[in-house]
Amino acid sequence: MALTGLAIFKHLPKTNCKECGFPTCLAFAMKVAAGQEGLDSCPTMTDEAREALSAASAPPQKLVKIVGPNGEVAVGQETVMFRHDETFHNPSGVAIQVLDTLSDEELKARCQAIKGLTFHRVGTDISVDLAAVKNDSGDPAKFAAAAKAVSEQTELPLVLISDDAAALEQAAQGLGDAVKPLLVPSEGALEATAELAKTGKYPLCVTNDDLEALAGLSEKLSSGVPELVLSPGELPGPKVIEFLTMSRRAALKKKFRPLGFPALVYAVDSDPAKAAIRASSYISRYAGIVVLDTIEPWAVVAVLTTRQNIYTDPRKPVQVEPKLYEIGSPTDSDPLLITTNFSLSYYSVEGELTAARLSARILAVDTEGTSVLTAWAADKFNPETITKALNDFEADKAVKHHKVVIPGHVAVISAGLADESGWEVLVGPKEASGIASYIKNDWKA
């Protein structure tokens, strides 16, 4: 039974020191009761109080860590059903499947392809997090060799999938003591693999397409294996969505502990586009880990982009620092483009300039991270705010032509901006995709 905020409050130091980030101990207690904060955020809590509270106030979904040779992936510990209620905390892990039936050369090529699945989007590198090695050969030695090679070549944490507990043991132990892959046995190999997970402290995935049966298994195993992941196995897409939604709801809304673990699902399809659509749907619907078998960059980037969008914090707009940016090597005759400091707006403009190898300056006006039209509608992107930015960042010292290019969507402010700033105002294209051709064809200093 979960504790109330007042019950938790009784155990707190009651000094209102604010070190937890909340103004009072009571405010912190209410957040812990709602499953939105952990006890670790209060550094002055006594050990006795922590012990008394830890079981009852544990987050409704467990955090699971999969450790690789060069870092770890943490999934789970989510506290809300809907992103806009707060935020989603630990991004879904995206895994690429590698079969142990590949030849050495094929395996090497696949590992290189996996390593290359890193993309730069809105100022951040997004990449694949895990490799999922599957024992298709049925040969434990071949599986162990493939796992070791994938671990060394990708340096990613691993998901190990096999019908054979002995094969999982050989593969996991071959990675060294510090590496803790996620073990994914078939139903028949679960009991023996659970023993291995207990002694070796490996996270364990329990698979069953029946939610009730899965809850029964996880309840039985969770006392001995601290880190569990739940999976419905390879089911049709709608069934997977149903599984993800029902297990998340049971864990978060009903505080049903046996289902309070992250979920692993498969988006395996011979058509990479369908695999990407399935994976993106699962990520938007609570998947903890998604296993893909495609290495097509265009399909993987779609999945990673979905994840990046869903796991941004809706309470904090994704923004760049408001300032005057130089793209390429601009002279004082190159264009000065105006946009907002919303990351997507800024990087859309920057990306188009960079791709076309054009030099220019971008003035990112502080609109509290809102996009051009949103900021204009909220009166944050207007002649006054743009003029202030031009003055604050001394744009007149950077260019000699005294011209600014504003987004076509806000053409309506051009006359007002010209009056307010004294600059000549040119109306650029509505979309960033038109910027390169606008500069090449229409810009004159």
State the DSSP code for 231.
E
Subset of residues 94 to 123 that bind ligand SF4, contact rule: CB under 6 A? none
User: Residues 187-196: contacts with CB within 8 Å, 24+ apart?
Assistant: 188/163, 189/162, 189/163, 189/164, 189/165, 190/217, 192/165, 192/166, 193/165, 193/168, 193/169, 194/221, 194/224, 194/225, 196/165, 196/168, 196/169, 196/172
Decide whether 3 or 25 has the Cβ nearer to ligand SF4.
25
Strand pairing partners for 290?
94, 265
Told to check if 175 binds ligand SF4 by CB under 6 A, we report: no
Q: C-beta of 14: minimal distance to ligand SF4 in Å?
A: 7
Report the C-alpha gap between 181 and 202 in whole angstroms.
6
Q: C-beta of 57: minimal distance to ligand SF4 in Å?
A: 12
Q: C-beta of 274: minimal distance to ligand SF4 in Å?
A: 48
Q: C-beta of 11: minimal distance to ligand SF4 in Å?
A: 10
Burial (CB count <10 Å: 0-12, 13-18, 19+), residue 415: exposed
Decide whether 5 or 200 has the Cβ nearer to ligand SF4.
5
Q: C-beta of 7: minimal distance to ligand SF4 in Å?
A: 14
Q: C-beta of 122: minimal distance to ligand SF4 in Å?
A: 34
Q: C-beta of 13: minimal distance to ligand SF4 in Å?
A: 4
Strand pairing partners for 292?
96, 267
Told to check if 87 binds ligand SF4 by CB under 6 A, we report: no
Report the C-alpha gap between 223 and 141 in whole angstroms.
31
Q: What is the CA radius of gyration of the chain?
A: 26
State the DSSP code for 31.
H
Subset of residues 425 to 444 that bind ligand SF4, contact rule: CB under 6 A? none
Interface size with ligand SF4, residues (CB under 6 A): 13
Give the range of 8-16, 144-152, 161-169, 314-322 binding ligand SF4 by CB under 6 A.
8-16
Give the tokens for residue 256.
């049903």
Decide whether 16 or 284 has the Cβ nearer to ligand SF4.
16
Decide whether 49 or 63 has the Cβ nearer to ligand SF4.
49
Query: Which helix (H) or strand (E) covers residue 211, if one does?
Result: helix 211-222
Give the range of 9-17, 69-77, 168-176, 352-360 binding ligand SF4 by CB under 6 A.
9-17
Decide whether 40 or 379 has the Cβ nearer to ligand SF4.
40
Decide whether 53 or 168 has the Cβ nearer to ligand SF4.
53
Report the C-alpha gap between 217 and 83 in whole angstroms.
29
Decide whether 46 or 333 has the Cβ nearer to ligand SF4.
46
Told to check if 405 binds ligand SF4 by CB under 6 A, we report: no
Give the range of 12-20, 349-357, 380-388, 426-434 binding ligand SF4 by CB under 6 A.
12-20
Q: C-beta of 21: minimal distance to ligand SF4 in Å?
A: 8
Contacts with 58 (C-beta within 8 Å, 6 or more apart), sequence order: none
3, 8, 11, 12: which one binds ligand SF4 (CB under 6 A): 12
| Contact present, 85 and 300 (Cβ < 8 Å) | no
Give the range of 11-19, 153-161, 334-342, 396-404 binding ligand SF4 by CB under 6 A.
11-19
**b or e along 246-282 (b: 16 or more beta carbons within 10 Å of the residue's beta carbon)?**
ebbebbbeeeebbbbbbbbbbbbbeebeebbbbbbbb
Mapping DSSP to helix (H, G, I), strand (E, B) and coil, where does residue 364 land?
A: strand
DSSP 114-172: HHT-EEEETTEEEE--EEEEE--S--HHHHHHHHHHHHHHH---EEEEES-HHHHHHHH
Decide whether 6 or 411 has the Cβ nearer to ligand SF4.
6
Q: C-beta of 209: minimal distance to ligand SF4 in Å?
A: 43
Decide whether 16 or 127 has the Cβ nearer to ligand SF4.
16
| Contact present, 381 and 365 (Cβ < 8 Å) | yes
List, in sequence order, the alpha helices (H) in 223-356: 237-252, 272-284, 297-310, 343-355
Decide whether 20 or 182 has the Cβ nearer to ligand SF4.
20
Q: C-beta of 347: minimal distance to ligand SF4 in Å?
A: 37
Subset of residues 13 to 52 that bind ligand SF4, contact rule: CB under 6 A? 13, 15-20, 22, 25, 28, 42, 44
**b or e along 160-187 (b: 16 or more beta carbons within 10 Å of the residue's beta carbon)?**
bbbebbebbbbbbeebeeebbbbbbbee
Decide whether 20 or 425 has the Cβ nearer to ligand SF4.
20
Decide whether 22 or 342 has the Cβ nearer to ligand SF4.
22
Applying CB under 6 A, the residues found at the interface with ligand SF4 are 12-13, 15-20, 22, 25, 28, 42, 44
